[in-house]
Structure 1
């Protein structure tokens, strides 16, 4: 489980295909604090650390993950949002995030507003892909509050700290991101669908 509060930006240092899998090597200030078998969210995708060497560590994404996320589009040298799993008993500063990406979305608009930014994202409409006004959404692992909730799109307001310390400063119209919808909303949608 994660909170959607990004701890740091890492850098993708090496990508290696292995059958249907992809090994990602990441350089990060967190590397020395990690251990093999630990879960880390990468742009919102929960992956297991399989190797650590100096300031780099390696995780493996299986084919299923590559088909449903943006990880297969990463390039060496690219920044990546990182968050370690939450510690039970600490403050939950974001919201409950599983690290299980539901779908990808495309940035359809970026608007600067007097010191902050509004990003609008569009996604394929599915019954369990829902947002609500002032509800929670995770974009590339970042816990955010939904504004302008529409049928298959939503916007988020980004403060300067988030803009500077996550991948948001790299996004422009057409950028693809990973989405994880609110877990409670997904369960409610499923219950409603099953009761009809």
Structure 2
């Protein structure tokens, strides 16, 4: 397939962009649905139990970016040119924000009170009695990985946009016809009639 201006389109790059966005969305959504930090709490009947807070509660931007990435895949079909590049920039900024905020949360974990508040969905005045230390799980790193993959896809989208396939690029522009001679004479006559010519007269010299 050839893009406007004669350059050949890059289907492979388009596939990589879509795959990167979908993988990034899946990783961010999956990570956001899992517990990022856990807190051990002693109980009178069940012994010591773990209370955790999901990434979606601690850092809602993670699942928001996942939804944005899915929407971006659909938008790729409808957009082209500058609009598609703007989309790539927005996706890249969102992915970078998800990575940065997640790393900041890993570097400065929530306190026991903050974790209890996030789990309860409200401001808890105190940590659970006898609570242990807050420990991190591996799920935030999946969010970081998903954000990095989405960022790479966004960069590829911006850089390779002129060569990416466009919706309807396979079709000729309005008013143009393929420069081929129909093998069916009746079909050729109908096409000359549609073009405003005389179907009883054969093609003039220079016509295909």
- The TM-score with structure 1 as length reference comes to 0.20
Which structure: greater helix fraction?
2
Higher relative contact order (CA 8 A, sep 6+): 2
Larger Rg: 2
TM-score (norm 2): 0.20
Counting strand residues as a fraction of each chain, which structure ranks higher?
1
